[in-house]
Amino acid sequence: MKIAALYKLYTQHFLVDTDTRAIRKNTLFFALKGDHFNGNRFAEEALNLGASFAIIDDKAYQTDKNIILVDNVLETLQQLANYHRRKLGITIIGLTGSNGKTTTKELIAIVLRKKYNIQATKGNLNNHIGVPLTLLSMTDKTELGIVEMGANHQKEIEFLCTLCEPDFGYITNFGKAHLAGFGGIAGVIKGKSELYTFLKENNKTAFINPEDEIQTEKSKALHTVNFKINALKFLEVSPFVKLSYKELTIQSNLIGVYNYSNIAAAISIGAYFKVSKEAIKEAIESYVPQNNRSQIIETANNKIILDAYNANPSSMKVALENFAAIKTDTKVVIMGDMFELGEESLNEHQAIVDLATSLKFDKIFLVGENFHQTATKNHQFQSYNLLEAYIKKNPLEKQSILIKGSRGMRLERILGVIN
């Protein structure tokens, strides 16, 4: 079936699903395949659960007239998403970066929703499947789209740009994330800058943080909107970021000076799209981080900063430095392994251990195989279970605690032990 014909089926309800466990009535079910599953097997089930049509790429499962056979389900999903993006013709903001992508995306969305009907990437669905699903979640009522793009190797951002064709772009930063896939920090910069390349080649616009030297250098040949045009000023972090915008003071619910640039991006982009300063202030102040991202949690005995959604050397460094700057009596750091660092893994973990030690925290707990290989006198636990057993025997009380680690470590589990 040609994409134009498939698009007619899609526009009947503007619904697409890839998981029969969350199927919606009248949806198009795309039978994706993975390393451990074959979506073709669930095509008939999807119809029974209410899907209008199922798209498969294995003829053996074409058991119904509403099961559509294509050459490749994933490629068809991607082609349909791009076709839809072009048919809608709306303005799309593309977003990438090493750290802060999802927080910045949420901030931009909450600001722009004050004036527009917005559709933005849900959670971190920012890969070769998530980006098409984001595009296909947009309808004829959508006025602005915000598409988060993630990558762990070269050419990935380039490809995602061909799908969503952003009119505007913003790169949060260039940090030490996915070093193994990118081949070092130079590779990270090159890979993330693929967004700038697309914007330049298509005469589009980049939003630029003037305090980021790499952004400034890499965007020289582009049409840019510089944050300097907005009267933004950092005021303090205690522990939440406070800033002034024009004559207004904005008190955010985000901890750490590193979140200032994320807030600044949302304010600047909101201002560019003519959101009033009062609406911007209201939006920023209403945003409360969730999903293990810089969350403040107060238990009966402890105050916790839970920042365990993900970690890399760059984000770990700023989290530690921010925690050190917070005024409180006793501080405990629980750090989990950082992944995808390749040959630099041991050096990067050792550097973080050395930094944490130099900041004179009262206790430092290191969790995981990578941190276990470092040279240190701090508490080391080869696995999460060993950490949990230790804290059960040695409860933490009346402490300020930073919990930071990669997603695979799932350090948020320790909340069930700390009270």
Per-residue pLDDT tens over the stretch 240-295? 999 999 999 999 999 988 899 999 999 999 999 999 999 999 999 999 988 778 88
Mean pLDDT, residues 7-20: 95
Asked whether residue 227 falls in the same domain as residue 303, the answer is no
Separation between Cα atoms, residue 130 and residue 160, nearest integer Å: 10
| pLDDT at 413 (0 to 100) | 96
Asked whether residue 356 falls in the same domain as residue 384, the answer is yes
**Does residue 214 fall inside a structural domain?**
yes
**Does residue 304 fall inside a structural domain?**
yes
Question: Is residue 262 a contact partner of residue 103, using CB atoms and an 8 Å limit?
Answer: yes
**Does residue 82 fall inside a structural domain?**
no
Asked whether residue 42 falls in the same domain as residue 157, the answer is no
Q: In what order do the strands lie in the sheet with 144-148?
A: 118-120, 144-148, 91-96, 168-171, 205-208, 223-226
DSSP H or E segment with residue 410: none
Which of 49, 73, 97 lies at the terminal end of a domain, its last residue? 73
Asked whether residue 242 falls in the same domain as residue 225, the answer is yes
Segment 54-108, tens digit of pLDDT = 999 999 999 999 999 999 999 999 999 999 999 999 999 999 998 889 999 999 9
Separation between Cα atoms, residue 299 and residue 32, nearest integer Å: 42
**Does residue 81 fall inside a structural domain?**
no
Length of the chain, please?
419
Segment 23-47, tens digit of pLDDT = 999 999 999 998 888 999 999 999 9
**Does residue 278 fall inside a structural domain?**
yes
Q: How high is the mean pLDDT of the chain?
A: 94
Q: What is the CATH number of the domain that holds 213?
A: 3.40.1190.10
Which of 15, 47, 73 lies at the terminal end of a domain, its last residue? 73
Residue given tokens 């080391």 in the structure block: 380
Asked whether residue 329 falls in the same domain as residue 391, the answer is yes
Structure-token pair, residue 374: 């470092």
- pLDDT-derived band of residue 122, with 50, 70 and 90 as boundaries? very high
Segment 324-366, tens digit of pLDDT = 988 888 999 999 999 999 999 999 999 999 999 999 999 999 9
Segment 380-395, tens digit of pLDDT = 999 999 999 999 999 9
Asked whether residue 108 falls in the same domain as residue 231, the answer is yes
Question: Is residue 202 a contact partner of residue 162, using CB atoms and an 8 Å limit?
Answer: no
Asked whether residue 272 falls in the same domain as residue 161, the answer is yes
Is the pLDDT at 229 greater than 80? The verdict is: no
| pLDDT at 181 (0 to 100) | 86
| pLDDT at 137 (0 to 100) | 96
Bigger pLDDT: 65 or 230?
65
- Number of compact structural domains in the chain: 3
Asked whether residue 275 falls in the same domain as residue 387, the answer is no
Q: What is the CATH number of the domain that holds 323?
A: 3.90.190.20
**Does residue 234 fall inside a structural domain?**
yes
| pLDDT at 73 (0 to 100) | 98
Q: What is the CATH number of the domain that holds 34?
A: 3.40.1390.10
**Does residue 83 fall inside a structural domain?**
no
Asked whether residue 257 falls in the same domain as residue 366, the answer is no
| pLDDT at 65 (0 to 100) | 96
Is the pLDDT at 228 greater than 80? The verdict is: no
Is the pLDDT at 230 greater than 80? The verdict is: no
Q: Which structural domain, as residue segments, surrounds residue 359?
A: 295-416
Question: Is residue 109 a contact partner of residue 142, using CB atoms and an 8 Å limit?
Answer: no
Mean pLDDT, residues 47-53: 97
Asked whether residue 280 falls in the same domain as residue 368, the answer is no
Question: Is residue 338 a contact partner of residue 407, using CB atoms and an 8 Å limit?
Answer: no
Phi, psi of 11 (to 5 degrees): -75, -5
Separation between Cα atoms, residue 148 and residue 100, nearest integer Å: 11
Question: Is residue 255 a contact partner of residue 305, using CB atoms and an 8 Å limit?
Answer: yes
Separation between Cα atoms, residue 99 and residue 162, nearest integer Å: 23
**Does residue 80 fall inside a structural domain?**
no
Question: Is residue 56 a contact partner of residue 70, using CB atoms and an 8 Å limit?
Answer: yes
Residue 368: partners with Cβ closer than 8 Å, 6 or more residues away: 336, 337, 381, 382, 383, 384, 405, 409
- Bridging pattern class, strands 232-237 and 303-307: unpaired
Asked whether residue 111 falls in the same domain as residue 174, the answer is yes
Is the pLDDT at 231 greater than 90? The verdict is: no
Which of 286, 321, 345 lies at the terminal end of a domain, its last residue? 286
Question: Is residue 402 a contact partner of residue 331, using CB atoms and an 8 Å limit?
Answer: yes
Asked whether residue 213 falls in the same domain as residue 163, the answer is yes
When mean pLDDT is compared across 2-11, 13-22, 43-52, 232-241, the lowest value belongs to: 232-241
| pLDDT at 293 (0 to 100) | 81
Structure-token pair, residue 184: 């070092």
Separation between Cα atoms, residue 410 and residue 49, nearest integer Å: 33
